[in-house]
Each structure stands twice: as C-alpha cells, then as structure tokens.
Amino acid sequence: MVIHPVLMIAVPLLAAFLTPLLKRVAKQFTFAILVLNSIFSVLLLAKVYNDGMVYETIAGFSPPIGIYLAVDSLSALLAFVINVFATINFITSDGDHRFSMLYLLAVTGSTGIVLTGDIFNMFVFFEITAVASYALVAAKRDRGAIEGAIKYMILGSVGSVFILMGIAIIYSQLKSLNIYDIASRISSMDTKMMWISFSLLLTGIGVEAEIFPLNGWVPDAYEGAKSNIASFLSFGPSKAAIYAIARLLMVVFPYNNAYEIALYVGVATLVVGEIAAMMQENTKRMLAYSSIGQMGLILIAFSLASQHFEYALLAAFFLVVSHASAKSALFLLSKSDGMPGVVGKYTGVVAVLSIIGMPPFAGFWGKWYLLLGAAGQKLWFVIILVFFSGIVEAVYFARYLNRNYGRKGKLPISYKYAMVILATLSLIFGLITLLNSMAMQNMLGGV
C-alpha cells in the first residue's frame, strides 16, 4: 500500500478550515479526522519499519530546489505518538468549533515539524503550532490563562525570530533550505557563521522544547490552561520541538561540540526542572516543572548519539513515550482535586511509577538505556545526576500521592477513559520491551 506522508499534514489542515462550516458536528468531524490521521501514522510507521526511510516530493519539484518530506524511523514514531495521543486526548474536549479548529491546527503543525525535510517549512510549522497553542492556552478565558498565553506568546515570538535568523544565515551561506542538502555541505560554511546559526536555532527551538533557560512560560501556561490542553502541550508541541533539536544534532550539525552543548543544556534543564518541581505546592505547576526536567533528560539522551547511537535513540524513544503518556494522564487527572475512585488511583500510581523509572514501565527502559549510553562514554556525572533526579522525583511524587490518594473528587467520564488509556500505554510499552528482552535471552540461551 502506498503511503503519502503529506496526507498527515494536508488532511487536518484542510479539516481545520472546514470546521467553522460544520458547527453542529464540529467535534465529531474533528474526532474522525484525528482517527484518520492516527491510521495514517500507523501505516507510515509500518512502512518505514519495513522499507526504510520515506521521502515525498511536493508539487513535482525535486530537492534541493523543491519542498519535500523526509520520514525516518524516529520521525515516524513521533508522528505516531503525536497523532494517536492527540486522538485519545480529544475525547475530553468540551469546546466548540473554534476549539476544534485550533486543536487540528496544533496537531497539523506538530506533525509537520517531525515530517518535513525542509528547514524553512519547519519554521512555518512551528508558527502554525505556536499560534494555535497560544489560543488554546487562552481558551479558558480567566486571568491565569490569559497571563500564561501572553508569556508563551512573547517568548515564542522571540524564539521564532531566532529560528528565522538561524535559517537566514544558513541560506545566505549555502543557498539551500533542504535539511539533507545542507547537511552534505555544512562543512563548506564559514565556521563562525555555522556556530552562530546553530546557536540561534537551538535557542529558538529551545523555547518550544522547554529547555533551560528558555522555559519561563511553561509553569504559567500549563497552570492557566485547561487540563486537557496542558495534557496536549506535554506530548504535542514540546515533543515535536525536541525532535527538531535532535534532527539538528544528528543530521545538520553532527559535530562533537554540538552534542556537547546539547548535553550541558540538557543537564541544566534536568537539574533546574526537578529542583523547581520539588518546591511547588500547586499540582499543575509541579507537573509543569517536572516536564521541564523530563525534557532535559530527553535532550541528554539525544546528546549521546555521537558515540552510542542505538542507546541514544532507544533512551529518547522510551523517555518520550513515558513522558507523553504518563504526564499527559496526570495533567488530565489534575482537573480533579484528588484521585476519584479506582480510575483516579490507578492513573496516578501507574503514571508516577513510569515517570520515576520503576520497572517494567516505559520510563524505566528510557533511564536504563540512557545510563548504558552514559556509561559507555564514561559520563559518570550524568549517571550521578540521573540517579539524583530520580530521587528528587520520587520525593515530590511521593508527596503528591500522599496528598491526593485519599482525596475524593469529580471527573467527567471522558477524562476517565482518556487518562486510563494514556497511563496504560506507558505500562504496555514497558511490558512489550520486557517480554521481548526475555524472549531474546531465552533464544540466546538455547543456542
């Protein structure tokens, strides 16, 4: 079966502009489009897994002149996570056609970021995602939501300028916007201009990726937004942005110095995020700072790709899945004052165990492969910090469970369905990996 990645961008983009014409059935229409895109993402992932990287030229113009999409195994996985999780999360929607339109635009932009092979179009998709996300954060229409949206918009706009400046420098030097064409000729750039462009791109994308010190908008935006929008932000735009940084590291700027910069930025983000999370009393702010720490951990994983590519990708994948599933479930649960019923308790416990890295959850495998990669490079300080962050996480999440476990609250049935599915995914991914590992050991033992 022929899979066209462009459909994952074109279909929700077109649907977003049709929703105002379908006011009465906008929610049902949007959900159907999200399901369709999820099916596309599954088929695309299977295609990449079986046949390797997928390229698609747009409008018949071949690269590097034309615009094209380039889908590798990691971008296919990220597209799958974004679209499937967005579909599950949308079950909780109680918004009108305007909410549906903005949600589809945010999904379109996030998907486009991970699928595009053109650096300028990556910027365009960042803008689509950012503008839609600002409006979604402000949709609650109270003081906290407006304040969070304004901070997000101001920092996001500054980040966009930095991205555009970085792209302009690269284009002025190489006259190309194609990521792989740039990668093949990056060594011909003036060294000083190359590192300036890398710094600008890392800074600009880092705003959306929630890395330190560019994440000042995160706690206010997450706290002010509706719980389901905070959930979306935790697996949508942030994951697309961290992948964009990974692509810069592994494709465009594959230099040891770039990996080293990413490592130290990741370490700073991890430490600051976890310590700040431990100091919070408000649940959503605690979860927001915890998300910052997790993004630092994912960036550390990608920074190991220069020498331990397999461990780096495995660590990043499981950390992304764990954070996207568990943290989004916890943000949905934060709509309630406590952990209502069996569903609330199950979600809270499973999500927390995955985030702190307990086996057999997906979070455990992420930290395990990260430690293996760090040990292979003799980065003992990284290993110490990973253990330190795990202890800090355990402390503030133990406090979170103690505070909320016995408290009753109310949640809409749609929230209960969505958060149970999301939390369970972190367990399923972990168990599949555990069973696969045990099967491989049995096979090797029988040889």
**Of residues 64 and 317, which shows the higher confidence score?**
317
Q: Are 104 and 19 in contact (CB under 8 A)?
A: yes
Residue 142 Rama label (left phi>0; alpha psi -120 to 50; beta): beta
pLDDT category, 224, cuts 50, 70, 90? confident
Backbone angles phi, psi at 360, to 5 degrees: -100, 30
pLDDT category, 241, cuts 50, 70, 90? confident
- Nearest CA to 76 among 104, 38, 115? 115
Residue 285 lies in a domain: yes
- What does the pLDDT average to over 237-251? 85
pLDDT over threshold 50, residue 443: no
Parent domain of 292: 267-441
HSE-up of residue 290 (Cα within 13 Å, Cβ side): 34
Residue 246 lies in a domain: no
Strand, helix or coil at 308? coil
Residue 49 lies in a domain: no
Q: Are 380 and 414 in contact (CB under 8 A)?
A: no
pLDDT over threshold 60, residue 437: no
Give the DSSP H/E element, type plus range, for residue 425.
helix 413-446
Q: Are 92 and 414 in contact (CB under 8 A)?
A: yes
CA end-to-end span of the chain = 37
- 11-57 pLDDT, tens digit per residue, is 999 998 888 888 888 888 999 999 999 999 999 888 888 888 888 77
pLDDT over threshold 80, residue 216: no
Taking the CA atoms of the chain, what radius of gyration do you get in angstroms?
Answer: 21
pLDDT over threshold 70, residue 380: yes
Q: Which residue has the tokens 């000042």?
A: 216
Q: What is the Cα–Cα distance from 388 to 347, expressed in whole angstroms?
A: 25
Q: How much is the mean pLDDT over the chain?
A: 84
Residue 157 lies in a domain: no
Worst-scoring range by mean pLDDT, 164-178, 347-361, 425-439?
Answer: 425-439
- 53-104 pLDDT, tens digit per residue, is 888 777 666 666 667 788 888 888 889 989 999 999 998 888 678 888 999 9
Residue 319 lies in a domain: yes
- What does the pLDDT average to over 345-352? 88
pLDDT category, 446, cuts 50, 70, 90? very low
Q: Are 152 and 133 in contact (CB under 8 A)?
A: yes
Strand, helix or coil at 3? coil
Q: What angle do CA 40, 44, 48 make, to 5 degrees?
A: 175
* Domains in the chain, number: 1
Q: What is the Cα–Cα distance from 248 to 212, expressed in whole angstroms?
A: 18
141 CB-contact burial (10 Å; exposed 0-12 / middle 13-18 / buried 19+) = exposed
Residue 419 lies in a domain: yes
Give the DSSP H/E element, type plus range, for residue 280.
none
Share of the chain above pLDDT 90, in %: 8
Residue 274 lies in a domain: yes
Q: For residue 27, give the amino acid letter.
A: K
Name the β-bridge partners of 71: 54
pLDDT at 439: 42
pTM metric for this prediction: 0.87
pLDDT at 442: 42
Residue 345 lies in a domain: yes
